[in-house]
Amino acid sequence: MEKTLIILKPDAIQRRLLGKIISRFEEKGLQITGMKMMMIPDSLARAHYVSHKGKDFFEPLVSYTTSSPVVVIVVKGKNAIEIARKMMGVTFGSKAEPGTIRGDYAVSNRFNLIHGSDSPSSAEKEIAAFFTKEEIVDYQPIDLSWVY
Ligand code: RTP
Ligand code: MG
């Protein structure tokens, strides 16, 4: 089972879209194993997006990321990293396909609601940067077949 870091960015909170976005991951069948609301400190935002350092959108991206609270989530499942990225859609809201999170709810390039780790190595690094071990509740999912 793979884990990925999802960040519901400041615009997701300000636009009251948290529930809708979280529901999509649950409905898909992925498991939430960690979740909290936080303000991302400036230093963490810079480290998180270090691969974009020097690009013209880097400083506005750091300002955006630190502008208001975010919700960070550890999502777990088979191929969770790739599946989450597919569900998010491509980077720019204007380009993302309808049916994806960005495609359905975003029109902006920068204000695109959600982050998802892009590889197993970044997922591992990002989860360690945002969560302590104790904050990840790695529970065994129960067999829900009795519900039916
Ligand atoms: P993320 O890292 O947030 O999951 O997004 P991503 O992989 O789809 O896109 P990436 O290229 O890593 O860009 C990181 C974030 O920077 C903002 N951005 N603005 N040209 C621009 O104005 C521009 N390009 C990127 C977006 O918020 C993007 O998600
Ligand atoms: Mg990225």
- Euclidean distance between CA atoms 25 and 29, whole angstroms: 7
Instruction: Determine the pLDDT at residue 148.
Output: 80
- Euclidean distance between CA atoms 10 and 15, whole angstroms: 9
Distance 38 CA to ligand 2 centre (A): 20
- Ligand 1 atom at minimal distance to the Cα of residue 111: 27
- The superfamily CATH assigns to domain 2-132 is Nucleoside diphosphate kinase-like domain (3.30.70.141)
Q: Report the predicted TM-score, pTM, of the whole model to 2 decimal places.
A: 0.95
**6, 81, 115, 127: the active-site residue:** 115
Model ipTM value? 0.96
Q: Is the CB of 115 under 6 A from ligand 1?
A: yes
Q: Give the CA angle between residues 145, 88, 13 to the nearest 5°.
A: 95
Annotated ligand binding at 91? The verdict is yes
pLDDT tens track for 93-104: 999 999 999 999
Could you state, in order of their start, the residue ranges of all structural domains in the chain? 2-132
Distance 16 CA to ligand 2 centre (A): 23
